[in-house]
Amino acid sequence: MVISELRRGLFEKLEKNGVADARFDADALIMHVLGLSRTDLALRFDQKVDADKINELEALALRRISGEPLQYIVGKWEFYGLPFYVGEGVLIPRADTEVLVDNALEFLANEPECTVVDLCSGSGCIAVSVAKNAKNAKVSAVELYEPAYSYLNRNVKLNNAAVKVIKADLFDTPDFDGIDLLLTNPPYIETDTINGLSQEVKREPKTALDGGDDGLDYYRAIAEKWLPITRKCVMAEIGETQAADVTALFEQKGFACVTVKDLSGNDRVIIGTKNRV
């Protein structure tokens, strides 16, 4: 069988079994198993495929059809143009989160050396992207849970990033003297909503999603424990209906807030600048 036939068969199988982006996923699985770039794939449609590779692809297609996210199957995903290992137990970096990184880099462009903390770091996508793109940032990444913590360490090494990795609980008293820029994408989904999420999202760790009854538990803790030691600015990713609540929590702690939208036009990031006294 040649690649073009394999590609058509795989696409039809995924589509027939309800995989939403079947063509994209079929190509991603083929590139992963055959070790091809997208350009290689386009140039090699007539290349013959070994039987063991076909069997491997069949097995991966079944995992995809069972609802396992494509990103976990291929094991690596791109964020801010950088590679990140992902798999069971770590949140898959989302393109929407790049808005937070854009704003962090814009802030850092006008600052001298700055201490930056990425709270709830997961794969480390925020911390690593900031450290790689702002040499004046002294970045620490805080994560509590295994295996996210282990992915975080692997991704810092993979990208050769200057990030200090810390295992700590956001709900405990922070072990930092002061932070210039606090970045965070905490769990923010209401507990009752989690059961209704797509099969793929439900394969991601509940500890990365569940923000408590009203989705705001983490923002309350950030306001109480972390904003008192934040000297200049906080940037927090939010759920699209949470802007007013999170703004109120941060403003009570002396931060003037603006809301930034993501590429789909939804409220996505709260930026709080510390009021001068």
Ligand X SMILES: C[S@@+](CC[C@H](N)C(=O)[O-])C[C@H]1O[C@@H](n2cnc3c(N)ncnc32)[C@H](O)[C@@H]1O
Identify how many contiguous H helices and E strands the chain contains and give both numbers.
11, 9
Closest CA to 74 of 94, 62, 60: 60
| Tokens 């995989």, located at residue | 19
- Please, which residue, 174 or 272, has the CB nearer to ligand X? 174
CA distance 52 to 112: 55
CA distance 62 to 193: 28
Least distance (Å) between residue 211 CB and ligand X: 9
| Tokens 């500890």, located at residue | 207
Least distance (Å) between residue 174 CB and ligand X: 11
Q: For the chain, give percent helix, strand, coil, nearest 5.
A: 45, 20, 35
CA distance 88 to 69: 9
Does the protein bind ligand X through residue 88 (CB under 6 A)? no
Does the protein bind ligand X through residue 120 (CB under 6 A)? yes
Number of residues in contact with ligand X under rule CB under 6 A: 22
Out of 70, 170, 222, 257, the residue judged to bind ligand X by CB under 6 A:
170
Least distance (Å) between residue 86 CB and ligand X: 9
Least distance (Å) between residue 127 CB and ligand X: 8
| Tokens 């923000």, located at residue | 211
Chain-centroid distance of CA 213 in Å reads 22
- Please, which residue, 14 or 156, has the CB nearer to ligand X? 156
Does the protein bind ligand X through residue 174 (CB under 6 A)? no
- Please, which residue, 14 or 141, has the CB nearer to ligand X? 141
Does the protein bind ligand X through residue 191 (CB under 6 A)? no
Does the protein bind ligand X through residue 207 (CB under 6 A)? yes
Does the protein bind ligand X through residue 186 (CB under 6 A)? yes
**Tokens encoding 148:** 């996210």
Q: Between residue 122 and residue 161, which ones bind ligand X under the rule CB under 6 A?
A: 122-123, 125-126, 142-145, 148
Least distance (Å) between residue 156 CB and ligand X: 13
Dihedral angle sign, alpha carbons of residues 219, 172, 205, 143 = positive
Closest CA to 252 of 239, 264, 234: 234
Does the protein bind ligand X through residue 103 (CB under 6 A)? no
Residues at the interface with ligand X (CB under 6 A): 91, 93, 97, 120-123, 125-126, 142-145, 148, 169-171, 185-187, 207-208
